Amino acid sequence: MAEPVVESATGRPRLVSRFVRGFRPLWLAPLLAVLALGAWALASPLGASPDDDFHLASIWCAQSSPESTCAVDPETGQRSVPVALIRAPCFAHQPNETAACQTPFFADPAVRAFTDRGNFFNNYPPVYYATMGIFASDNYLVSALVMRLINVLLFVGITTVLFLLLPLRRRATLLWAWIITLVPLGLFLVASNNPSSWAITGVGSAWLALLGYFETTGRRRVGLGVAFVVAALMAAGARGDAAIYIVLSIGIVAVLTFRPERTWWRRFILPAVVGVGAVLFYLGSQQSGVAVGGLGTGQSGSTDAAGALGSFALLAYNVLYVPSLWSGIFTGSGWTLGWFDTEMPAIVFFAASFVFAGVVFAGLRRTRWRKTLAVVGLILVLWLLPVYVLVAGHNAVGENVQPRYLLPLFVVLAGVATLAVRASGLRISVAQAVLVAVALSGAQAVALHSNLRRYVMGSDVAGFNLDERIEWWWDLPISPMGVWVIGTLAFAALMAILLKAIASPHVTR
């Protein structure tokens, strides 16, 4: 007769056994998300996101007094900043130029130069720059990677907290909103040093946290209220337009939840205070001037179409061509990543936009007047707001206004469109889930590979093996091809797990 297994005094075998039996693949989702976004953080060099010379100088000067490391030239008003930061994007607008061109600028971190490119005159709200400035050091590359990782952890952390706190029927909305909007521009920006990272994370999270705040009670409501405040502060403290999007998001949630009851009005005090704060952030930055004069002229990559059009023709042109800005979120219509110089293969746009349109269309199968009003209102804002800004600045589509400015609202639109009406939400079949997972995983893999190749080898060098002709890379023990493999597998596994969760009643319904 076999002797019975004696459990240790600590009970560890039983705890391990319980853990193994109760393990859920969904528990791996945060780790997989960090790995996938971490791959994107490594997939581009310092200074790779739009206007990074401006943003990097702003970060490094945020924690410095004008009399110290960011001294002011009394004659010109320019700031003295490290040369490496303002000249790192030496590859900008040159898709065949690798990031190896920036290597000489890191030889002596003490070399400085004067520039007016920075948040020196309240161009942007200060919170993002001040927070990232805490991690600034003379080791620019390490500091930049740390900041990117922090942005990734903030995104994954807030999304995880929302998943745990939101009512079951709202979890699918949270997942859908991010799944169908991040490939590829969102992945690139969330894992970047650009303040658009916080704008996307903040706006995309704040509205749903606020919705949950109105729909829950007790500790969940408190937790969701805190999440809403944090997300709103991130967005409003990063970009002026994101501050306005927070106000708009509060209005959308008010439409979705309003009840003529005293309880509702008491709960509305929190978003009302946050909304006032967001407006103050907006008014305190020079971005508020966009409401009067648009974004002006003179941006690289502009179409120069406005100069050939009269006032009415310009208005008509912009109304008709605004959808090209939307397609730029999936890098269609000639829009690209980086400094508008990292072209994506057509399959990326086709797959990502196909999934977005299909899921949104399916989500609108079940709707009521509140949801319909919110969706229509968002579409009108996404159409008319860029038209207004473009016409005010006498610009045509393709000049100044970029798809990344609209991406935060696209996340909200995706969420509202897939919002469950009462107990009925968006349901998908196994075949549909597989199609979405394959399409987005494939698009992400191609996009990540293309982005890596552009900086490692140059866009003019063809080939699948990214390790074959390395001209630039981080001083890390992992190769470009290794990063691509990890990012590709992590994202594919993440899609499989999340789509299975969406289809599982006990997880999201």
Q: What is the 3-state secondary structure (H, E, C) of 193-207?
A: CCCHHHHHHHHHHHH
Q: What confidence score (pLDDT) does residue 392 get?
A: 92
For residue 448, tell me if it sits in a domain.
Answer: yes
Instruction: Say whether both 297 and 394 belong to one domain.
Output: yes
Of 91, 106, 129, the domain-final residue: 129
pTM as predicted: 0.94
pLDDT in tens, 155-194: 999 999 999 999 999 999 999 999 999 999 999 999 999 9
One-letter identity of residue 28: L
User: Does residue 10 sit within a domain?
Assistant: no
Q: Is residue 1 part of a domain?
A: no
Return the SS3 of 136.
coil
Who wins on pLDDT, 234 or 23?
234
Task: Tell me if 226 is assigned to some domain.
Answer: no
Whether 305 and 417 map to the same domain: the answer is yes
- pLDDT tens digits, one per residue of 279-303: 999 999 988 777 666 676 544 444 5
Domain range for residue 66? 52-129
| CA-to-CA separations, 104 to 88, 182, 372, in angstroms, rounded | 10, 34, 55
Q: How many domains, the chain?
A: 2
Q: Are residues 70 and 185 in the same domain?
A: no
If asked whether residues 116 and 162 sit together in one domain, one would say: no
Report if residue 318 sits inside a domain: yes
Domain shared by 94 and 152, yes or no: no
Same domain as 45, residue 85: no
Q: Quick one: tokens of 150? A: 């922090």
Asked, for residue 397, whether it belongs to a domain, the answer is: yes
Give backbone dihedrals phi and psi of 406, rounded to 5 degrees, phi first.
-95, -15
455: helix, strand or coil:
helix
**Is residue 263 in some structural domain?**
no
> Which pLDDT band holds residue 231 (cuts at 50, 70, 90)?
very high
Tens of pLDDT along 420-476? 987 777 888 899 999 999 999 999 999 999 999 999 999 999 999 999 999 999 999
Q: 159 and 118, same structural domain?
A: no
Is residue 363 over pLDDT 90? yes
168 and 69 within one domain: no
417 and 486 co-located in one domain: yes
Shared domain for 191 and 56, answered yes or no, is no
Instruction: Report pLDDT for 422.
Output: 76
Predicted pLDDT at 65: 54
**Domain boundary pick from 74, 96, 129:** 129
Tell whether 222 is covered by a domain. Answer: no
Q: How far is CA 393 from CA 307, 319, 397, in A?
A: 12, 15, 11
Clarify whether residues 90 and 184 are in a common domain.
no
Instruction: Please check whether residues 297 and 413 belong to one and the same domain.
Output: yes
Residue 2 has pLDDT above 90, yes or no: no
Q: Provide mean pLDDT across the span 8-23.
A: 65
